[in-house]
Chains A and B, each alone.
Chain A
Amino acid sequence: MYANAQYYNDPITGYGPVAIRCNINGIPSSVPLDPDNTDYANIMQLVDEGKLTIAPAEDPAP
C-alpha cells in the first residue's frame, strides 16, 4: 500500500526531484526514480491508474 507520496528535492542544491517520499505499508520510505525499482514501478502504475497522486516537492531550505 502506497500513500502520502511526495517528490523530494535535494535540500542543499534544490535540484530535483531526486526521490519520492511515501509510506509503504505504513513505513515512511523514499523511493529512487529508477524504473527498475519495484516500488517506483508500482507507484507509477498507481499514478497511471489514477489511484495515487504524487505531491510536488517542498521547497528546499534556504
Chain B
Amino acid sequence: MASTYSANLGIELIGTGDQSGTWGATTNTNMGTLIEQAVSGYSTQVVTDSGVATALLISNGASSTGRNYVIELTGALTAARTVTVPAVNKPYTFFNNTTGGFAVTVKVSGQTGVIIANGKKAIVYTNTTDVIEVANAPVTEAGTQTLTNKTLTSPTLTTPALGTPASGVLTNATGLPLTTGVTGTLPIANGGTGLTTTPANGALDIGNGTGFTRATLTAGSNITITNTAGGISIASTGGSGSPGGSTTQVQYNNAGAFAGSSNLTFDGTNLTSGGTVVMGSSFNRNRIINGNMASDQRNAGAAQTITAAAALAYTVDRFYAYCTGANVTGQQIAGATANQYRYRFTGAASVTAIGFAQRIEAINSADLANTTATLSVDLANSLLTTVTWTAYYANTTDTFGSLASPTVTSIATGTFTVTSTVTRYNAQISIPSAATTGLQILFTVGAQTSGTWTIGNVQLEPGSVATPYERQIYSDQLAQCQKYFLASKAAVSGVVSAAAIPSAYQFPVTMRVSPTFAWISGGTMADGFAGYAITGGTLNSGSTTGARVDFTIASGYTTGRGAIVFDAIVQFNSEL
C-alpha cells in the first residue's frame, strides 16, 4: 500500500505494512524536518521584484520553504510585490525585511491576502481560501513603515512630519505660529485688514466703504502734518493768514480775526464786531419780568403778609403769592454779590402750602408754543427739600382766572430737590402748540411750618439750554413792570368840584389794560388858598395811558378852583 500525505503540511503517511525496515527514516523526516518546520521553522524567501508573485510551496514529504512557521521576506524591491502561499490551513509569521520600502502582500493565489508593510512583522494564517491577518507589529517598531488605509485612534505623534494632508480640521490645535505657520492675508471678515502692504510712516488704515485703504492723513488749510515712524504730528499754521472753519466750526487766527476778517475779532476775552451784531434770541430771551426780584413797587422791600386762603396777592413786581393753612410772610431781601435781590417766604406753624408764580402775557410768550423752553431758578429752603414747578397756559388769551376758579391748562410739572444753600436749577418744558394764549410758571412748596424759602433769578427762555440769568438795566426792568403795575406819588393837577377833586394821571408806560386804582395813603390838595388832606380816591375813567382819579377831602370843597394833589400814594394795577 503506497504512502499518502496530510492535506495541510504534506506529512507522509506510511501505508499499513509498508516501508518495513525503512519507515524510521520517513518518520524522522516527518518529525524532525517537516513538523519542526511547521512548528518552529524559520526560513528566508527572496521576493521576486517583478509583477510575478513569489510562490511559497509545501512539497509532500520534503523540506519546503512554505512549510516554515516564520518566513523572512528579503530582496530589493522597486514596487509593492506579492507572495502566494498554498490554500491549506496553516499559521505563519511573516517579516517583510525587503529593501526599497515597499509592502508585500501575502495571499492565496487569486485572493486578497494581507498587506505587510515594509519592515513589518505580521502573524497570519491560511484557511484554505486566503491569508487572514491575526496581528500586526506595532508601528512604533523601529524602522520606516508605511501605513495604508489605517485608522489611528487618538494617536500621539512625536514630531511628525505630516507632509501635505489632503484635508484636516485643526479645531483643537494650538500653538500654530503666525509668522511661519500660516499663509495668505487675513480678511476684514476675520478681523484683519485685507492689506499686506508695509505701512509708510504715519500711515493709517482708513475705511473706504468696502475695506481699508492704507494712507497718510491729508492736511487741510493751515494745517501741517508730520509723519514719523510710529507718530503723527498735527499743527495749525493759521498764523496771521486766513483761518479755516466750516459750517460747524469757527476758527480764528492768532491775530484774533475770525474767518480772516478784522471786522470780527476775539482777543481771548472780548469779542468785537466792526458791524452790527444780529442776534436771534440771545438778547431779551428771558420771558420772566423782574426775575431777579429787583423791582418791588408795592412794598419797597417791606415785609408783606400773605393771607391764607385769600385771593392771590401780588408781591414783588409781576409775581403773586398765595398760601394755605396759615399766613406767611414774604419779602424782598438782599441777595449775595451780583444777585442783589431775592424773594423769601418765612414759614409759620400750620402752613400747608405756599405758591409763587408769574403770569406771562401772550404777546411775550406765544412764540414759545410748539417749542422747548428752559426754566431756570435759584432756590434754597432751610426746612423743605422739594420745590415743585408747574407750567400752565391760559385757556383763553391772557385770562388765567382766579385761585378759586383758574382757567388754565397744565403743561408740565416737576420738582427740584433743594438745600439750604441757594443753588440754580433748571428744567426743560415742551410747550404745546395750543399755548399761544399766555403762560403761567408756578413754584410751590408744602408745609413750610418754619424756616425760609428763597427764590431768585427766575428765567424762562427759548431752547433747551439753560443760560445764565439775563440781567437788564434796572430802568428798563422797572418800565417793563410798570406796564402791569404802577406805584405813584406823583403830583397831579385837578380842579375842585362839589364833592371831589378830579385829577389827571399820565402813566410813564402804556399799561396792559385800563388799570384798577387804589389810594393807599396820604396826599394833600392845594387849591391856592389852603391845603387839605386827601381822604380817598376813586378811579373815574381810565385807559392804558392815563386816568382820571376823583380825590376826596374831608371838607373845604370850593367848586371851580384849580388844584394840585401831591404826596398821595396810589397804585394802578393791570396785572394778569
Contact = CB atoms under 8 A, between A and B. Distances in A.
B497 interface: yes
B533 to A, nearest CB: 16
B498 interface: yes
Contacts of B550: 11
A28 B519 CA distance: 7
B398 to A, nearest CB: 7
A61 B499 contact: yes
Interface in B100-146: none
B515 A32 contact: yes
Contact of B514 (A11, A25, A34): A34
A54 B575 CA distance: 22
Contacts of A60: 499
B63 interface: no
A25 B313 contact: yes
A55 interface: no
A30 B498 contact: no
B541 interface: yes
Given A1-B311, A11-B498, A25-B310, A37 B539 contact: no
Contacts of B502: 12
Contacts, number: 94
A8 B499 CA distance: 13
A49 B537 CA distance: 29
B516 A30 contact: yes
A45 B513 CA distance: 18
Max chain A Cβ within 10 angstroms of own Cβ: one of B512, B538, B575: B538
Interface in A1-48: 1-2, 8, 10-12, 18-19, 21, 24-25, 27-32, 34, 36-42, 45
A62 B310 contact: no
A34 to B, nearest CB: 4
B536 interface: yes
B443 interface: no
B218 interface: no
Contact of A24 (B311, B499, B513): B311
Given A11-B550, A38-B576, A45-B405, A25 B311 contact: yes
A32 B517 CA distance: 8
A19 B518 CA distance: 12
Contacts of A30: 516-518, 537-539
Contacts of A34: 513-514, 542
Contact of A29 (B399, B517, B542): B517
A1 B516 contact: no
Contacts of A19: 517, 538-542
B448 interface: no
Interface in B538-560: 538-542, 550
B500 interface: yes
Contacts of A18: 539-541
B498 A2 contact: no
A24 B411 CA distance: 30
Interface of A: 1-2, 8, 10-12, 18-19, 21, 24-25, 27-32, 34, 36-42, 45, 49, 60-62
18 contacts: A1-B307, A1-B311, A12-B500, A18-B540, A25-B311, A28-B536, A30-B517, A30-B538, A31-B516, A32-B541, A32-B542, A34-B513, A36-B512, A36-B513, A36-B514, A38-B575, A38-B576, A42-B311
**Nearest 7 interchain pairs by C-beta:** A61-B499, A30-B539, A36-B513, A29-B518, A32-B514, A34-B514, A39-B516
Given A10-B540, A31-B516, A36-B398, 4 more contacts: A19-B540, A19-B541, A30-B517, A45-B401
